[in-house]
Amino acid sequence: MKSIKTHILILLILITTSSCVTQKCPNCENGPPYPNAHRVYRGKWYDTYDCGRYLINNECYKKAIPLFSQAIQGNPTDTRYARSYSTHFVKDYFPNREQGIAWYFLGEYEKAFTALSLSIKQFNSEKARYFLDKVNRARFKKMRISPTQPHIVFNRIHKNLMFTNECPVIISGRITDPQYVFQISIDNKQVFQDYSAREVTFNHPLYLDEGSHPIDISAQNLNGRKSSKSIIVQVDRTGPKIVIHSKRASMCDGIILDNFGLKHIQINNRIIPCQGKKKVPFHAIITNSSIDIIQAEDLAGNVTSIKHPIWHQTHYPDRQFFAENERKWKHYYSDARQARTQSIHIHIQDWQPFDYSYLPEMNIQGEIFSKHALTQLTINSNPITCDSETNLIFSKKVHLTPGQNHIEIVAIDQKGNTQQHSLSIYRYIPESQKNKHRLRLAVFPFETIPVKMDATQFSNALLDALHQQNRFNIIVRKQIHSPKSFWSILSFQSQTETADALSHGRLIKSPKDIEIYIPLVTLDSQILGYADVYIPLESQHDLKKAMTRLVNKLIYRFPLSNGVVKDFDTRHVCANWEFSNGWVL
């Protein structure tokens, strides 16, 4: 009797044990044995997903699909962190995406499209986008859809011509294509695009010198068809020229000139459209009022103006330089001691010989008096057209670099007399735009999953790309091995300096590809956002390009904002925030 009970107990133990191991991961004939065979395989959704990943990495797609279906029944949502039990999580759980990839390699493109679209809806990963583009290409080819071409529409372009005085020049517009816009290039440089879409807007800065610039824009869809357009960008930073022919007590006559055309002129309260005319005469009656003004604007947006008090200015102070820093009056700066002996007099409005600015560009405006006809006028070697005038008002937009900037104005008359005028302007960076006030981001070394590999090159490439964009206040952290509190890990040399957010990226490596995932997490463990890139096997040599794309994604998701402060207190700032190009403070 005792032996019977012993046998029954052993049988029950065997039955219970066998029920824990319901099945084993099938081996793939194309690759090595299942690497996690040492683990207890209970057939849970995370077990079947791990087994499916092994099969798909070794091209056993038919065997992988039912395993992903079982995983979806247990947990149907694609995510970077899937809770398995208690406080345990499965990282990078994407059963719908991996099943869609398997369907793609089996030629079941509609099923692959459905699975990948669902994965993107649940969690937008670049790997899913990459294979969805491949699926759409295959679908178009299989359905024999007639190829289309991208349709390119520009903003602020009239008859393929753009007038501007901007620095940088913003080329913007929209591209549409029912077969998905896949790639955009402007001036032979690829424009950052997060993913392919039927409609894509672009906003690309170009740093162009003054002059005429042909710019080529091309777009390619998933079918490989390209469209190209060429435009002419006319960069004009020279304002209209106001030539004074005669000035009397109650009257002023002259002509307004611009090489590329005038938009309108304003004489006192009257605005006169010019419709692109390059030469417009004017006749103004002086009323001895503070509103007496002649102002001209050209097609590029440059403005030149002259106000009544300056018309009657016939003498200059004896001191050599004006020293009114606050500019309570609209002074013209000139070297007054030389004014009595020189035949050419140059007077600069609102700027002193040694001045400063917080803006990236400034408008130099001045007036020239000459006894003889002028033949040449240059500002920093950039010519302004002269046609034998003796009294003219000019303006020029000048780009300023941080630090000291020197501006040289030279005028020459027909007798060969030369007058040189110098300005020295120091450009300061506004305090709010300095890097030290931006989000303090602690960058930790990469975590590698599932195999051990050297991640130093990835970390270095990421840091280089972050420093080049100058978006965050980067703080590099070494790997912490000793147990410390969360707050001590984020503390730095002084206890008052802490990071606002941390970034601890992961490398998810397989035999065929690498995924790089970087979340931005705040101190209270809230995820601000994330960025990821997918690197297939054939592109793994171009690490720098992948890291640049990763950083562009981060900046695209966390643009710097620009706004006018309306109200503030010790904790909050109320402003009308605006976003421009995704980069502006």
Q: Give Cα separations from 87 to 333, 502, 542 (angstroms).
A: 72, 22, 38
SS3 121: helix
Pair (456, 473) in one structural domain: yes
Residue of 501, 533, 537 lying closest to 516 (CA atoms):
533
Look at residue 322 and tell me if it is in a domain. Answer: no
Look at residue 328 and tell me if it is in a domain. Answer: no
Specify which residues 344 forms β-bridges with: 370
SS3 169: strand
Q: For 291-331, what is the HEC assignment?
A: CCEEEEEECCCCEEEEEHHHHCCCCCCCCCCCCCCCCCCCC
Pair (243, 122) in one structural domain: no
CATH number at residue 124: 1.25.40.10
Pair (67, 184) in one structural domain: no
Last residue of a domain, one of 142, 175, 207: 142
153-161's contacts with Cβ under 8 Å and 24+ in sequence apart are 154/217, 154/229, 154/231, 157/231, 160/229, 160/230, 160/231, 160/232, 161/231, 161/232, 161/234
pLDDT of residue 104: 96
- In sequence order, the 6+-apart residues with CB closer than 8 A to the CB of 411 are 344, 346, 368, 370, 374, 376, 377, 418, 419, 421
Residue of 278, 282, 235 lying closest to 257 (CA atoms):
278
Q: Read off the amino acid at residue 102.
A: A
- Cα 156-160-162 angle, rounded to 5 deg: 45
Pair (282, 350) in one structural domain: no
CB 473 within 8 A of CB 442: no
Look at residue 229 and tell me if it is in a domain. Answer: yes
Specify which residues 426 forms β-bridges with: 356, 404
CB 341 within 8 A of CB 374: no
CATH number at residue 218: 2.60.40.10
Rounded distance, CA 532 to CA 551, Å? 9
Pair (15, 131) in one structural domain: yes
Look at residue 581 and tell me if it is in a domain. Answer: no
Query: For tokens 């209270």, what's the residue?
Result: 524
Dihedral over Cα of 99, 100, 106, 110: its sign? positive
Pair (105, 180) in one structural domain: no
SS3 582: coil
Pair (308, 272) in one structural domain: yes
CATH number at residue 257: 2.60.40
Question: What does each of the 585 residues of the chain score in pLDDT, given as a tens digit?
Answer: 556 666 666 666 655 555 454 567 888 887 788 877 666 667 789 889 999 999 998 999 999 999 999 999 999 999 998 888 877 888 899 999 999 999 999 999 999 999 999 999 999 999 999 999 999 999 999 988 888 999 999 998 888 899 999 988 999 999 999 999 999 999 888 998 888 999 999 999 999 999 999 999 999 999 989 999 999 999 999 999 999 888 776 778 889 999 999 999 998 888 889 989 999 998 877 776 655 788 999 999 999 988 754 544 444 333 333 333 334 334 444 444 444 457 888 888 877 766 888 888 888 898 998 888 999 999 988 888 888 888 899 999 998 999 999 999 999 999 889 999 888 889 998 887 888 888 888 888 887 765 555 567 777 778 888 888 888 888 876 544 434 444 444 444 444 467 888 888 888 888 888 899 998 888 776 777 889 999 887 777 777 788 888 888 888 888 777 666 667 666 666 666 655 444 333
Structural domains of the chain, count: 5
Q: Give Cα separations from 30 to 33, 56, 99, 106, 514 (angstroms).
A: 10, 10, 18, 16, 21
- In sequence order, the 6+-apart residues with CB closer than 8 A to the CB of 516 are 446, 458, 505, 506, 507, 508, 532, 533, 535, 546, 547, 550
Pair (290, 352) in one structural domain: no
Look at residue 488 and tell me if it is in a domain. Answer: yes
Look at residue 103 and tell me if it is in a domain. Answer: yes
SS3 73: helix
Last residue of a domain, one of 312, 346, 371: 312
Task: Provide the residue range defining the domain that includes 354.
Answer: 335-428
Look at residue 377 and tell me if it is in a domain. Answer: yes
Look at residue 459 and tell me if it is in a domain. Answer: yes
CATH number at residue 477: 3.40.50.10070
Last residue of a domain, one of 110, 142, 174: 142
